[in-house]
Amino acid sequence: MKNLILYTLLISCIAQMNAQTFNEEILAYREAFKKEMLEDERAPLEQDDFQFLRWFIPNDSFKVKCQFTRLTNQEPIDVPTSSGRIKSFQDVGVLTFVLMNTVCTLHVYQNNTLAHLPELQDHLFLPFTDPTNGVESYGGGRYIDLSRQALNEDVIWIDFNLAYNPWCAYSDGYNCPIPPRENSLTVPIYVGERMYTGPHKSREH
C-alpha cells in the first residue's frame, strides 16, 4: 500500500511538471508571436496594441495526433480572401484526428505564390473555423502554420494552442484567406488566440 501511494505521488508530480513545461512553451510561443509582429513592417499591431490580445488558457488535450494522407495531382483551388480578392492554393493533404470523441478532418494547403519564394517554399497553411468563431474567437476563423518537413511522416502532431488570428482580425487592408468549407470543425477549439478586443485599425492596400 505504501509503495502504491508513493507511485501515485510520483505520477502526479511528473504530470504537474509536464503541464508546467507545456504551459511555459505556449507562453514562450506567444512572446515570440508578439516579437515577430513588432519586427514585421507590414504587421498591423504595435507594442501598445498588445494589451488587447487575448488567448485561451493552454490545454495540452488540444495537441492531437493526426494521420496524414497526402494528396497528389490536385488541381489548384481558388480561395477567396477577406478583401474579396482570390488566392491560389494547392491542397497537399488531409489530417484525420479524434478530438472530444469526434473524428475530425482538416485539409492542409500551400500558397502557390509563396511556394516560389525560397524562404517560404516549405511553408504550409492550416486554416480552420469552429463554433467559437464570432463568440470567443475571431469570426473569420484562425490559422496554424506548418512546414513540409513536419509532413514527412504519415503521423504528425498538431497543437491547436498555436492557432492565431489572421491580420484582418486587427485591421482592414489585408487579404486574409477565408478557411474553405471542408475545414469547418464541429467541435469548439477552446485554445489558441481569442478575439482581439482593441479598436479595429485601417490600412491602405
Q: In terms of pLDDT, which residue wins out, 170 or 11?
A: 170
State the DSSP code for 57: P
* Spatial CB neighbours of 168, under 8 Å, sequence gap ≥ 6: 82, 83, 140, 174, 176
Can you give the pTM of this predicted structure?
A: 0.88
Can you give the pLDDT at residue 5? 27
Nearest in space to 152 (alpha carbons), one of 73, 95, 70, 39? 70
Can you give the pLDDT at residue 18? 53
* Mean pLDDT for all residues in the chain: 87
Can you give the pLDDT at residue 154? 86
Least confident stretch, 53-57, 172-176, 185-189: 172-176
Kindly tell me the sign of the dihedral angle through the C-alpha atoms of 36, 38, 39, 42.
Answer: positive
Are the C-beta atoms of 60 and 190 separated by less than 8 Å?
A: no
Nearest in space to 183 (alpha carbons), one of 139, 122, 141, 135? 141
Give the residue-averaged pLDDT of 23-43. Answer: 94
Residue for grid cell 519586427: 39
